[in-house]
Amino acid sequence: MYRFYVEQNQIKENSICILDSDVNHIKNVLRMNRGDTLIACDGQGKDYICSITDLSDKIVELAIKQVQNSYAELEGRIYLFQGLPKKDKMELIIQKAVELGVYEIIPVMTKRTVVKLEDKKKELKKLERWQAIATSAAKQSGRGIIPRIAGTKTLKQALDYGSELDCRFIPYENAEGIEYTKEVIANIQSKHKVGIFIGPEGGFEEKEITLAKEAGYQPITLGKRILRTETAGLAILSMIMLQMET
């Protein structure tokens, strides 16, 4: 069934209106007609099963038949704290993390971060671009929510931001063996809030690992191979997604 995302102000008690470019897509690309069924998603985890009641050049009117929680969402929440990588790697990380079920992505400035977003205008432009990529990936993968890209944080701010999470992990090459990683992941419950802290190119400094451990983050290994920053987060996300999936 076709899915379209709508804003809260487009949703009424018994009806929904679809606007803008989605109207052309429904009418002229999909060639849908009155009586056809589609899903309108509010981007907050609710799916509205609707039938088309009217179409014009500017609006598609829908009648709500059923409301349900999105089947595509995990019960828990995964927060990805990503050390800022070089070039356009962040775009790939965001796209794939959204596909894997991440709830929120928090860009982090660490000691070895090469990219600096000290200019507020440049940062806002980057955040807009990243949020657009998250929105597109959410639509493509049938997500019930559109994951948020948070504002860039320092290491301390990021550690504080995740202080209330149920589980907090930081992949690190000097962590204990893979059996320990398997053990801590096996203890994750489906409704847990989980934080993953990934370093940039060059990884973390020892002092940063110490700060993370003091903040409650558990160092874990992802195996014997050295993973790039754009691979490490996706690897651990995949493991946690499978553990939390119900």
Report pLDDT for 173: 79
Report pLDDT for 118: 66
Question: Who wins on pLDDT, 98 or 123?
Answer: 98
User: Residues 95, 105: contact at Cβ < 8 Å?
Assistant: no
CA neighbours within 13 Å on the CB side: how many for 187? Answer: 10
Report pLDDT for 225: 87
CA 24 – CA 216 distance, rounded (Å)? 50
- Mean pLDDT throughout 27-46? 93
Question: Backbone phi, then psi, for 64, in 5-degree steps?
Answer: -75, 125
Q: Looking at domain 3-69, which of 2.40.240.20, 1.10.443.10, 1.20.1290.10, 2.60.40.1120 is its CATH number? A: 2.40.240.20
Nearest to residue 134, comparing CAs of 125, 119, 146? 146
pLDDT digits (tens, 9 = 90+) for 102-161: 999 999 998 888 777 667 777 888 899 999 999 999 988 989 999 999 999 999 999 999
pLDDT digits (tens, 9 = 90+) for 196-229: 999 988 888 889 999 999 999 999 989 888 889 9
Q: Is the pTM of this model over 0.95?
A: no
Which amino acid is residue 117, in one-letter code? L
At 87, is the pLDDT very low, low, confident or very high (cuts 50, 70, 90)? confident
Report pLDDT for 17: 95
The CATH class of 77-244 is alpha beta
Nearest to residue 19, comparing CAs of 74, 53, 57? 57
CA 40 – CA 11 distance, rounded (Å)? 9
Domain residues of the chain, as ranges?
3-69, 77-244
